Amino acid sequence: MITTSFSMDKPTLKWLDSWCINNRPRAILEFGSGVSTLHIARYCIESDDPVVFTSVEHHPEYYIKTYRTLKTTYPQDDPVGLRHCGIRDGWYDIDPVTGWDLIVIDGPPESIGREQTSERLQGFLEAGKQTTILVDDAKRPTEDRLVREWFSVDRRVRLEEIVPTPRGLAVLRVH
């Protein structure tokens, strides 16, 4: 898959690969598909344990590209529940489902904004379940503000670190 300016950068992908291997998430939800989807799919296939992985994409062209690349790369496997849905009121038009160990936020794109992320993600967080949330592009002003407001408003959310990748990766834990 060809990377674009929207793709996660290589250091972030390397960090994501390592995090998955070390933490062994069994249920992964990704907002914004692409190169990161392929990396997580590889983890799912190579994992000794079964992993449920759902990736949500709003843009039809990127959805089709990701779908085709997954089918070409993993013709015998189906490691990803890739879903296409539109954006409504600044967030993915998808019903919330809980039970995730890892949530990767790499969308919606900057042109749409991520201001609704913390509010809309609440329905995906299960009370009492520890969930790690990764927010890509954490160095952008909107994402930086989102992350800092999120953990200051919601007592369940703790900022673990900002990984020093070119665009920044915020690591949050929800308890």
> Using CA atoms, how far apart are residues 6 and 83, in angstroms rounded to an integer?
18
Torsions phi, psi of 126, nearest 5? -95, 130
Cβ neighbours for 14, distance < 8 A, ≥ 6 positions apart? none
> Using CA atoms, how far apart are residues 75 and 152, in angstroms rounded to an integer?
44
pLDDT mean across residues, the chain? 91
pTM for this predicted structure: 0.93
- Tell me the domains of the chain and their CATH numbers: 10-174 (3.40.50.150)
Say yes or no to pLDDT of 116 above 80: no
Residue (of 102, 99, 101, 107) closest to 83 by Cα position: 107
Q: What percent of the chain has pLDDT over 70?
A: 97
Q: Give strand pairing partners of 172.
A: 133, 159
Say which amino acid occupies 82: L
Q: Mean of the pLDDT values across residues 10-23?
A: 97
**Greater pLDDT, 172 or 119:** 172
Ranking 9-13, 103-107, 127-131, 168-172 by mean pLDDT, the lowest is 127-131
Say yes or no to pLDDT of 91 above 60: yes
* pLDDT at 25 (0 to 100): 98
Q: pLDDT band for position 6 (50/70/90)?
A: low
Q: Give strand pairing partners of 27.
A: 52
CB atoms within 10 A of CB 6: 16
CA Rg value for the chain: 15
pLDDT tens-digit profile of 28-69?
Answer: 999 999 999 999 999 999 999 999 999 999 999 999 999 999
Question: What is the SS3 assignment for 127?
Answer: coil
Residue (of 95, 171, 155, 99) closest to 129 by Cα position: 99
* pLDDT at 103 (0 to 100): 97
Say yes or no to pLDDT of 1 above 60: no
The answer to whether 52 touches 18, Cβ cutoff 8 Å, is no
> Using CA atoms, how far apart are residues 154 and 85, in angstroms rounded to an integer?
27
* pLDDT at 3 (0 to 100): 56
**Greater pLDDT, 1 or 160:** 160
